[in-house]
Amino acid sequence: MSETIFTKIINKEIPADVVYEDELCLAFRDINPQAPVHILIIPKKAMPQLNDAGEADEGLLGHLMLAANKVAAREGVADGFRLVLNNGAAAGQEVFHMHFHLLAGRSFTWPPG
Ligand code: DGP
C-alpha cells in the first residue's frame, strides 16, 4: 500500500501527541478533535481499511480494541466512550491506514451523522 501520514507518525518522522504505544499499535490525539477526548488507535502494520483484514489479523484487531480500553482508562473515560471506524470513503474515511477513533468527554447522539 502507499504510505500515509500515519506511517510517518509511526516512524516518528512527524510529531504526534502519543498517549499509548506497544509492539503492535500506536495511539495519539487527533489533530482535528471532534470531542474533548479524540484519540486515534492505529496498527503499526499498515492496512488501508478494515475490509483489507484477513484471518491472520484476527488477533491484531482484538489487540486494538483492548488497547482502546487501556487508552480510555488512562484518559479517565472508561465509563463512556465511542469507538468509531470509518471503512472506505463512503463512510468518511480520509486516511487510508486503518484506525479507530476513540471519542469521549461529551454526550453523543444516535444514529451518528
Ligand atoms: P478518517 O476520516 O476516519 O480517515 O480519520 C482521519 C483522522 O485523522 C481525522 O480525524 C484527522 C486525523 N489526522 C489526519 N492527519 C493527521 C495528522 O497528521 N496528525 C494527527 N494527529 N491526526 C491527523
Domain ranges within the chain, ordered by starting residue:
5-104
Amino acid letter, residue 90: A
Which residues make Cβ contacts (< 8 Å) with residue 7, sequence separation at least 6? 46, 97
pLDDT tier at 2 (50, 70, 90 boundaries)?
confident
User: What CATH number does domain 5-104 carry, 3.30.2020.30, 3.30.428.10, 2.40.37.10, 3.40.50.1360?
Assistant: 3.30.428.10
Asked if residue 18 has its Cβ within 6 Å of ligand 1, the reply is: no
CA distance 33 to 100: 13
**What is the pTM assigned to this prediction?**
0.97
In a 13 Å sphere around the CA of 95, the CA atoms on its Cβ side amount to 20
Which residue bears the cell 489487540? 63
Give the mutation target among 29, 31, 37, 71 for probing the ligand 1 site: most ligand atoms within 8 A of CB. 31
Contact 99, 5 (CB under 8 A): no
Give the Å distance between the CA of 35 and the centre of ligand 1.
Answer: 14
Tell which atom from ligand 1 comes closest to the C-alpha of 29: 21
pLDDT digits (tens, 9 = 90+) for 66-84: 999 999 999 999 999 999 9
Q: Which atom of ligand 1 is nearest to the CA of 34?
A: 10
Catalytic site positions: 99
